Structure 1
Amino acid sequence: MATPSLKQLRYFVALEQYQHFGKAAEACYVSQSAFSMAIKELEGILGIQLVDRTQRHVTITHVGKAVATQARVVLRDLDNLQHYANSYSEPLSGRLELGIIPTIAPFLLPRILPKIRAHFPKLDIYLREDLTQRLHERLMEGELDVILLALPYELRYVETRVLFNDGFRLACHHNTTHINPVYYHLEQVNAESILLLEDGHCLRDHALLACQIRNLDKINRFGVSSLLTLIHMVDADLGITFLPEMAEGSPLLAGTQIRTYALQEEGQREIALAWRQGSARAEAFGLLGEVIGKSYLV
């Protein structure tokens, strides 16, 4: 009985991801005609229609979506087999898909990437920046090997290693009209003066918890979509916010009129690595975590 090739499975997973023959073929570094032929051959081997084709649209059939999910499992297991073999020669070498949340990436990556390259010169890191929930989904689907995130956050079927703690600081324009930052007290903040990221960003929940913000009337009802936008709004003195300590001295704050101040009651989040339970590369990820933690704390 004929069985699908790994190439065909990889092509189909790419098609399911991009929903476009041309874009998927480009991502796989193959011509569109060869890509389309491989998908046709896969349908013939399986005896089912995976894709509904029109002139302008590609729709993955219901059974095609199930096949794509199973194909990811097959490809992930094959990668785990290769990683398991590689772990006996060099613990961290080859390709590594690392997911990272946007409230860590701009502050931590410039500090840790040079150290990672120095410690693991044969490691090729491919970065994916996204919200924690989507990174977790990609991790469980095998698209990512490990993710760098902030805790607390409820994650299932993963192992985590806390690398270091990251405290919060009050951030505002140096001549803010909203508070006296030197004698800051949360109850003195005007209604809707606290600017936070919108729902979905764990930094919002961490700031609410760590900074003990219980009066929701103090929070501006318009959630901000990105850190850059949040910093621009604080720089324009449209409100105050709470930033992680790792933001201190970062390019995002350079050239702004924002100053940060210590909080009376210190709150913090935990920066951690997470990977799938039972991963063959767990020991290697632990080594990676050690380097990241030391690179930040030095």
Structure 2
Amino acid sequence: MATLTRGERPRFRITLEQRPGRHLLERQPRYAVLVNGAQQGELYYNMRGYQGYLPTVHGSRLDIGERGISAFRREVTLLNREAEQAIERGAADARRIVLTRPTTDGGVVFALSRDALTGTDATHLISRRELIQARRLFGSDDIGSGFFRPLDLDTEPVVLFEPGDEALAAGLPQLRSRIMDPVEAEAHEREIERVIRTADPEVLLVVSRRTRDGADPEPHYVTRWGHETALARFGPDLRLSDLIEVGTRPAIPDPGDRAFLRGQFTWFGTEDEQPWRPDLSLLGSGAPDADLEGPA
């Protein structure tokens, strides 16, 4: 999103645009779900009514079930009104977010706000997804704490402070917190630049870079399930800390991927790669079935 000028409010407005059906048997039109004119989804007729998701200003998706298009239009009106109110709170609230840190709950972020009028500080636990959305909307971290909705947590997670935050942590004794080691702290700041398939269908190789300067690329073998889960939750804003690293190093089957890796990492070679084989330890005695032999 483009950087906003001083005093300018971000815009979040949902509209529904009628589109023709894609198939000859479709008797009802489809509706594109647009946010500020850009398509974010689609509503289609499914036997008893329209079905699809509506985006919210806080970054989630709303499912109202199979309903008539008039019900979706009413919901859009409500969501647009809520968006205006949330954006106004985020822009006008004197309590500005001045610092954020991760927690042991990957979906929750610790935030410190400061009142621009009185200088007093306050602590918050906010949704990481809402923080990602707020940064997209406002184009910066200068966000009023009123934008964020209160979280209903059964147990408060542990706040993960960075090395160098010792004085800050000591000044907040009411928090459950600890200081991360440098490796853990950097994992929370490394974005994923590239995802590469390996010979093991359950393992991916990802290349990460530091977000603060875009430098120091590193390869990591991670579980496919963990990557898919993090991608569904946080989209392109996922971090290395969201992924589950594995100790195996399956071969890279694509020649283009191998060339890319050797170009980035001169030490990366086939001598470190292990051809994928299925885990037969749970099959007991006897020869394995032919379809479990794995790639040749």
What TM-score results when the alignment is normalised by the length of structure 2?
0.24
Q: Report the structure, 1 or 2, having the larger helix content.
A: 1
Q: Report the structure, 1 or 2, having the larger strand content.
A: 2
**Structure ranking higher on relative contact order (CA contacts 8 Å, 6+ apart):** 1
